[in-house]
Amino acid sequence: MICPPYKICSEQATGPVCTCPANKVGTFCQYNNPCNQSSSICHNGGTCVSSNTDPPISSCHCREDY
């Protein structure tokens, strides 16, 4: 598999895939990952997850005990 220059090729269980670097999201990796903008974006142990949509949407997933 050949990935575009802005994506990274990585091996998954289902085969090779092209993904954006961790600090970028979007179809062409053109957006900064909102989850990397601030370490305090999610509170009380929540985990930030950003979508791979244009533009990206970030949300916080709570721990099971919340």
**pLDDT tens, position by position, for the chain (66 residues)?**
789 988 999 888 999 999 989 888 888 888 888 888 776 788 888 999 988 778 888 899 998 887
Taking the domains of the chain in order of start, what are their residue ranges? 8-61
Res 36: pLDDT: 85
Opening angle at CA 46, ends 19 and 61, nearest 5:
60
Res 53: pLDDT: 78
The whole-model pTM stands at 0.64
Res 57: pLDDT: 85
Res 63: pLDDT: 85
Structure tokens at 38: 């601030």
